[in-house]
Every structure is written in structure tokens, then in C-alpha cells.
């Protein structure tokens, strides 16, 4: 059995792992995730390149969750000849369709900017979705020579840890692991034993501060901006982060803990995804499910405005400050947040609040790290607003939680592969795993192949 790393190796984004088994002269190939590379632009140069394997030979793709850096190249895979099966939880499938269609429009603009043909089209998205089936948590699927089981990763709604048995060995792909306690979603499940494990390392070098104080930190950010009479901009990912913010804002406004000011969800995608959330209430944790069943609309409150159309988005400018604007994208790669940043980022009375990971070279990372000016929509803009970060809102586990999750398998593991992290984060986590768990640990490079 061979495992090859074609993405997510020494990089947070682009997750793509090829697993091959051989019986006689027949080779069976499956993929785990097929994500988009993201960085200074929404689409990095790697996304335009041919796959390093023949998509026609892939029997199936198993998807950990619906974030674009884990699903974004599936339409390209279809375009290049893949006609196998795609499996994920039903919620991931529903979220993925919306996210991929939204991504396709952005990718087309990126391709035009690069002077290259589009990575995919909406027809390729439709083609990929036609091959996609839902697989419930804990229902074992026997596919070709693989037994596959999905466990709840607690990262975003429907996210999964993928456990695969083949050739008498067990492999576990962590996908992205959750940062708990989190509103709405379930706690990350643990795996009792495995021979090999791929573990994410996005925050492998950090300990989240204030994870239990997220709501208080959000409260402070709103109160300070209201007092100054400015605008609180929150660039956020349409999937999960927006819904978590809505949950906490619902509490703050309904309990009278912050002054009532207009709050705008200025993201058509986030609005559509929030509707899907309500379809999968059975995925919610026990407390959230109880609230929902009691009739509490946890994702809505007085003063909340959903701006679906372009005209509705533009009308936000006419609303006097103070106000709160939540818009995509989470790393300021694109989307409506750019227009608000261009308008308000130079205002000392205003603030920008980051509640998610900011990839290296992204606009969000530049702002967060103190750049005095940034280029937005082709114009150099001075950054005079306050910069705030709440890492407790990250949907990724930090170093202690990653180690705790991995420790449940320590007695059976032969090797650990540290993936989906920048170099420093991966190295820090790998060293901790070796020192504290005494496990053989590798940080694979792009294209590295291992015989298991």
C-alpha cells in the first residue's frame, strides 16, 4: 500500500492525498480530499497545473469537510476525466454544492487575471455533484478493497475524520479537527487505535487564548466601536464562522449585553448556508438542539439584516455609524468585505476584527500583522482602524487539543504524518509528538510517497 502527498504537505491549503492498494496486478486508487491552494490570491498557481496522477484511474474521493481548501479542485478533477464516486456526510455534500458554485465564479475571475483558461465551469461543478453520495457517521462502507468509516471531527457542521481499513492496516485522516467547546456543533470524536495517522497542524505551534471568553471579547469589540462611533468590520468565512458569530450575537443582543446597533450579514453565500444549517439540526450539540426545539431562533435577532442583493449591500453605506458588518471572505481574498474595508479601514474610529486563520501573504494577514497600508481593489489604502483578533473563534484545534486527540491512538500507531500547516507550525507539533508521545513522526513534502 502506498500513500502519496499531493497537497496539504508543508501547506495549510490544497489537501490532496492518494492512497493505492495492489491485489495481484490490479491497483486500486482513492483520494482523500481534493482542495484548492489558497494564499495571496484565492487561487494559487498550483491550481492551474495538471494533476500529478490520471483522474480517470481514481475509483473514489472521500471528503473530510466542505471548506474550499479540501474540495475546491473536485470540479477540475471531473473536467479532467474523473468518473468515480465521491463520498462525504450528507451535510458536507449540501454545503459543498453551494460553496463550489460560489467558488467557480471567483476562479473564473482569477483565471482571467492570470491570462489562463478557467480551472473549471459550473457544468463541471454539476458533474462532480452527480457523482456525490452521502455517508452517515459510523456507517461502515465497503468500497472496492477499502472499508471506510466517518467520525465527527467537530470542525464545521458535517466535518469528518476518515478512518480507512485496507490490507490489514488502519489509516486515519484527521481532516481539520475542531476547537471546543464550540457553539452549535458536536465535540471532536476520538479514535482508539490505528496504524497510521495524518494529523492537521494549522495551529500546531499555538495555544488559543480565551476560548471560553470568545463572547466577552466579541462584546468588548462591539462596545468599544459603538463608543467611538465607528464601524466594526468582521471578514468571515461564510461556512461555520458566520453561524458561530450569529449564535453569540443572538445571546449578546437578546440579553442586553451590548447596545442595539444594526448588524449586517453581507454575504449571499453565508445567507444560503445558514438556511442549510437549519436542515441539519440533528447534527447540533445537545444544548443547541434543545434551544432550537424550544422555538429559539438561535441564528436571528432584532437588528439583524441579511443583504442578499448588490443593491442591498450598497445600501449599508447609507446607514449611519455605529454598525457591524460581517462579510466574506474570511481572509479578505475577495467578496463584499473588500468594499467595506476600502471604505472604512482608514477610519480611526472603526475596527477590523479577525476571527479565523489568515494564510501567509493574504490581505487579512497583512492587515493583522500591522501593514501601514494595503492594496484593496487596485488602490493603496492607509490602515488607521483598530486591528483585533480573537483566536478562540478558530474552528481549528490548538496544539494541546491536537496532542490530546492523537494520544488516544499512541499505543498502536506506527507513524504519524503532520500535514496542513505552515512550516513552523508543523515542526512545532511534530517535535511535541515525538517528545511527549514518543511516536515516529514525519512532515512530508509535496510529492513524497510512502510505502505502508
Residue 298: the pLDDT is 86
Residue 365: give its domain's CATH number.
3.40.50.10890
251-275 burial code (b ≥16 CB/10 A, e <16): bbbeeeebeebebbbbbbbbebbbe
The arrangement of strands across the sheet holding 263-266 comes to 304-306, 263-266, 323-327, 231-235, 351-354, 386-389
Mean pLDDT within 100-125:
88
Span of 107-121, 174-188, 335-349, 361-375 with lowest mean pLDDT: 107-121
**pLDDT tens per residue, range 227-238:** 999 999 999 988
pLDDT digits (tens, 9 = 90+) for 205-222: 998 866 668 889 999 999
The CATH number of whichever domain residue 165 belongs to comes to 3.60.15.10
Same domain, 262 and 341: yes
Range of weakest confidence among 3-7, 10-14, 110-114, 438-442: 110-114
CA atoms of 199 and 402, how far apart (whole Å): 8
Q: For position 43, what pLDDT does the model report? A: 53
More confident residue, 17 or 330: 17
Where is average pLDDT lowest: 91-95, 124-128, 239-243?
239-243
Residue-level pLDDT at 356 = 81
What confidence tens digit (pLDDT) does each residue in 407-440 have?
A: 999 999 999 999 999 999 999 999 999 999 999 9
Give yes or no: residues 246 and 304 share one domain. yes
pLDDT tens string 330-376: 888 778 999 999 999 999 999 999 998 887 788 999 999 999 999 99
Give the pLDDT score at 8.
95
Distance, CA of 27 to chain centre: 32
**Domains in the chain, number:** 2
Sheet holding 26-32, edge to edge: 132-134, 85-88, 60-62, 26-32, 17-23, 2-5, 449-451
Residues 283 and 136 occupy one common structural domain: no
Which residue, of 352, 370, 393, is where some domain finishes?
Answer: 393
User: Of the candidates 354, 374, 393, which is a domain's last residue?
Assistant: 393
How many Å apart are CA 79 and CA 117, to the nearest integer?
13
Residues 128 and 86 in one domain: yes
pLDDT at 40: 56
Q: What is the pLDDT of residue 82?
A: 98
Compare 108 and 405 and report the one with higher pLDDT. 405
Looking at 369, 393, 417, the residue that finishes a domain is 393
pLDDT at position 64:
98
Q: What is the mean pLDDT of residues 276-305?
A: 89
pLDDT at residue 42, as a whole number: 57
Instruction: Kindly indicate the confidence band of residue 24, based on its pLDDT and cuts at 50, 70 and 90.
Output: confident
State the residue range of the domain holding 164: 2-206+395-451
pLDDT at 231: 98
CB 151 within 8 A of CB 235: no
Q: Do 193 and 240 fall within a single domain?
A: no
Question: Do 165 and 242 lie in a common domain?
Answer: no
How confident is the model at residue 38, as a pLDDT?
82
128 touches 100 (CB < 8 A): yes
Q: Do 216 and 90 belong to one domain?
A: no
Are both 276 and 388 inside the same structural domain?
A: yes
Give this prediction's pTM: 0.90
Each residue of 128-161: pLDDT tens digit?
A: 999 999 999 999 999 999 999 999 999 999 999 9
Residue 41 pLDDT:
60
Q: Judge if 149 and 279 occupy the same domain.
A: no
> Can you tell me the mean pLDDT for 315-340?
92
Do residue 201 and residue 232 come from a single domain? no
Q: Do 388 and 407 lie in a common domain?
A: no
Domain match, 176 and 92 both: yes
The pairs formed by 120-126 with CB atoms below 8 angstroms and a separation of 24 or more are 120/75, 120/76, 120/78, 120/79, 121/75, 121/79, 124/75, 124/76, 124/78, 124/79, 125/75, 125/97, 125/100, 125/101
Q: Can you tell me the mean pLDDT for 14-24?
A: 94
| Residue 354 C-beta-side C-alpha neighbours within 13 Å | 21
Amino acid at each position: 500500500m502506498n500513500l502519496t502527498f499531493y497537497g496539504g504537505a508543508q501547506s495549510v491549503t490544497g489537501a490532496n492525498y492518494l492512497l493505492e492498494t495492489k491485489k495481484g496486478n490490479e491497483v486500486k486508487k482513492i483520494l482523500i480530499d481534493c482542495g484548492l491552494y489558497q494564499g495571496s490570491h484565492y487561487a494559487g498557481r498550483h491550481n492551474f497545473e495538471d494533476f500529478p496522477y490520471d483522474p480517470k484511474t481514481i475509483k473514489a474521493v472521500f471528503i473530510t469537510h466542505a471548506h474550499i481548501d479540501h474540495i475546491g479542485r473536485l470540479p477540475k478533477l471531473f473536467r479532467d476525466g474523473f468518473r468515480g464516486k465521491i463520498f462525504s456526510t450528507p451535510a458536507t455534500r449540501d454545503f459543498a454544492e453551494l460553496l463550489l458554485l460560489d467558488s467557480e465564479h471567483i476562479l473564473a475571475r482569477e483565471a482571467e487575471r492570470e491570462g489562463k483558461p478557467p480551472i473549471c465551469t459550473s457544468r463541471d461543478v454539476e458533474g462532480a455533484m452527480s457523482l456525490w453520495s452521502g455517508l452517515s457517521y459510523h456507517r461502515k462502507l465497503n468500497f472496492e478493497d477499502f472499508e471506510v468509516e466517518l467520525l465527527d471531527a467537530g470542525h464545521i457542521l458535517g466535518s469528518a475524520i476518515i478512518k480507512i481499513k485496507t490490507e490489514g492496516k488502519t489509516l486515519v485522516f484527521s481532516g481539520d479537527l475542531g476547537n471546543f467547546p464550540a457553539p452549535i456543533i458536536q465535540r471532536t470524536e476520538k479514535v482508539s487505535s490505528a496504524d497510521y495517522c495524518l494529523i492537521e497542524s494549522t495551529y500546531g505551534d499555538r495555544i488559543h487564548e480565551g476560548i471560553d471568553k470568545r463572547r466577552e471579547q466579541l462584546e468588548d469589540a462591539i462596545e468599544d466601536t459603538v463608543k467611538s462611533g465607528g464601524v466594526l468590520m468582521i471578514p468571515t468565512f461564510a461556512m461555520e464562522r458566520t453561524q458561530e458569530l450569529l449564535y453569540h450575537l443572538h445571546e449578546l443582543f437578546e440579553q442586553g449585553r451590548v447596545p442595539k446597533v444594526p448588524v449586517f450579514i453581507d454575504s449571499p453565500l453565508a445567507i444560503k448556508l445558514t438556511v442549510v444549517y437549519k436542515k441539519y439540526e440533528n447534527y447540533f450539540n445537545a444544548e443547541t438542539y434543545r434551544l432550537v426545539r424550544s422555538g429559539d431562533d438561535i441564528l436571528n435577532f432584532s437588528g439583524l439584516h441579511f443583504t442578499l442583493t448588490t443593491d442591498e449591500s450598497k445600501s449599508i453605506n447609507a446607514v449611519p455609524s455605529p454598525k457591524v458588518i460581517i462579510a466574506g471572505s474570511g481572509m479578505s481574498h475577495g467578496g463584499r468585505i473588500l468594499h467595506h474595508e476600502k471604505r472604512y479601514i482608514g477610519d480611526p474610529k472603526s475596527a477590523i476584527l479577525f476571527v479565523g486563520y489568515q494564510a501567509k501573504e493574504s490581505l487579512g494577514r497583512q492587515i493583522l500583522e500591522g501593514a501601514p497600508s494595503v492594496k484593496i481593489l487596485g488602490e493603496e489604502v492607509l490602515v488607521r482602524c483598530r486591528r483585533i483578533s480573537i483566536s478562540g473563534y478558530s474552528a481549528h484545534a490548538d496544539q494541546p487539543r491536537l496532542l490530546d486527540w492523537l494520544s488516544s491512538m499512541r499505543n498502536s500507531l506506527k507513524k504519524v504524518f503532520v500535514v496542513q500547516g505552515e512550516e513552523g507550525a508543523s515542526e512545532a507539533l511534530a517535535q511535541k509528538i515525538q517528545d511527549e508521545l514518543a511516536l515516529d513522526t514525519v512532515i512530508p513534502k509535496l510529492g513524497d510517497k510512502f510505502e505502508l
